[in-house]
Each structure stands twice: as structure tokens, then as C-alpha cells.
């Protein structure tokens, strides 16, 4: 089975260097990354190939959710490649709290481009080393993922406006 590829794009009225910093600096990520309505608990960022971003958030219901990015490639101002996964507070990868068939890891690729002073992101994600059942579940989650990432990128847009 071929890997299903999730894709979302978003344009921001902000310069490329600023949008890049939103992904490259912990003090910015904590203000916009994650589902809408969640509050930040903790994070640690080692932004380099081979480095990781480990973070924790609390849902409005009080449930904690932890995640991690493992950076594979970083091309400043152009591209990020990393696997993302749910994890425990110690950073050990676990199944998604909402679905046992969601892939353990997702390979993400974010492309950054600038035109007329604004920046466009193109993000793709695909199951990473996942069995076919997990790939099918991932494909079935596309509508929900579109909604979730639209909310997250909306928070980024709001945060960028707050810095202007």
C-alpha cells in the first residue's frame, strides 16, 4: 500500500524570517503550537538535525497530552523535515490518546516560500514505518486533521499579528 499523504497550505502576511522563527524558537512555539484551547505545560527544544522538540499541553478537560518532533533535516528559511509522535512526559513514544490505530510516527515536511512580503507554508505528512492498518486509519483522519491544523495555523496567524 502506498503511504497516504496529508497536505495543508497556509499563507501569512508576515516575512519569511519571522515565520521561520515561529518554528525555530521555543519561546514562539509555546504561543501557538497545538490544538485550540490547550494550555502549555512544558517544553524543551533542540532545533538541529538529530535534535528534538518535546512538549506538553493540557486540554480544557484537564487531560495532559505530550508530543515530540525528531528533526531529520533543517534547511534554514526553506524546509523542515521531522517525525512527530505522541509521547509520555519522559519523551517515550506512545500511541495517540484518541486512537490506537493512528500511526506511532508521522513524517512531516514543511516548505516555506516568500512572495510580496508574505510567507506560504506547505505541510505534508505521511505515516512513518507504519503497518497498512495504521495507514488506512491515517487516511480516514484527513478531515479531522484539516480542521485541527487549520486551528493551529490560525493560532499562528493570531500570534504573528500580535507581534506586529
What does each of the 164 residues of the chain score in pLDDT, given as a tens digit?
Answer: 789 999 999 999 999 999 999 999 999 999 999 998 999 999 999 999 999 999 999 999 999 999 999 999 999 999 999 999 999 999 999 999 888 999 999 999 999 999 999 999 999 999 999 999 999 999 999 999 999 999 999 999 999 999 98
Asked whether residue 128 is domain-assigned, the answer is: yes
Asked whether residue 95 is domain-assigned, the answer is: yes
Cα–Cα distance, 97 to 90 (Å, whole number): 16
Number of domains in the chain: 1
Asked whether residue 69 is domain-assigned, the answer is: yes
Cα–Cα distance, 104 to 70 (Å, whole number): 13
pTM over 0.85: yes
Query: What is the domain-level CATH number for residue 33?
Result: 3.30.530.20
Name the residue range of residue 141's domain. 6-163
Asked whether residue 142 is domain-assigned, the answer is: yes
Beta bridge partners of 53: 45, 69
Q: How far is CA 163 from the centre of its chain?
A: 21
Asked whether residue 1 is domain-assigned, the answer is: no
Asked whether residue 23 is domain-assigned, the answer is: yes
Asked whether residue 109 is domain-assigned, the answer is: yes
Amino acid at each position: 500500500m502506498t503511504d497516504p499523504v496529508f497536505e495543508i497550505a497556509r499563507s501569512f502576511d508576515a516575512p519569511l524570517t519571522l515565520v521561520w522563527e515561529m518554528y525555530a524558537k521555543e519561546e514562539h512555539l509555546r504561543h501557538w503550537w497545538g490544538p485550540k484551547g490547550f494550555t502549555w505545560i512544558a517544553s524543551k527544544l533542540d532545533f538541529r538535525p538529530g535534535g528534538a522538540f518535546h512538549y506538553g499541553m493540557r486540554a480544557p478537560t484537564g487531560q495532559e497530552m505530550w508530543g515530540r518532533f525528531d528533526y531529520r533535516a533543517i534547511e534554514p528559511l526553506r524546509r523542515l523535515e521531522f517525525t512527530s509522535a505522541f509521547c509520555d512526559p519522559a519523551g517515550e513514544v506512545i500511541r495517540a490518546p484518541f486512537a490506537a490505530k493512528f500511526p506511532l510516527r508521522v513524517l512531516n515536511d514543511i516548505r516555506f516560500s516568500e512572495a510580496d512580503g508574505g510567507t506560504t507554508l506547505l505541510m505534508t505528512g505521511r505515516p512513518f514505518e507504519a503497518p497498512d492498518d495504521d495507514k488506512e486509519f491515517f487516511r480516514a483522519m484527513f478531515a479531522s486533521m484539516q480542521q485541527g491544523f487549520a486551528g493551529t495555523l490560525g493560532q499562528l496567524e493570531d500570534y504573528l499579528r500580535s507581534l506586529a
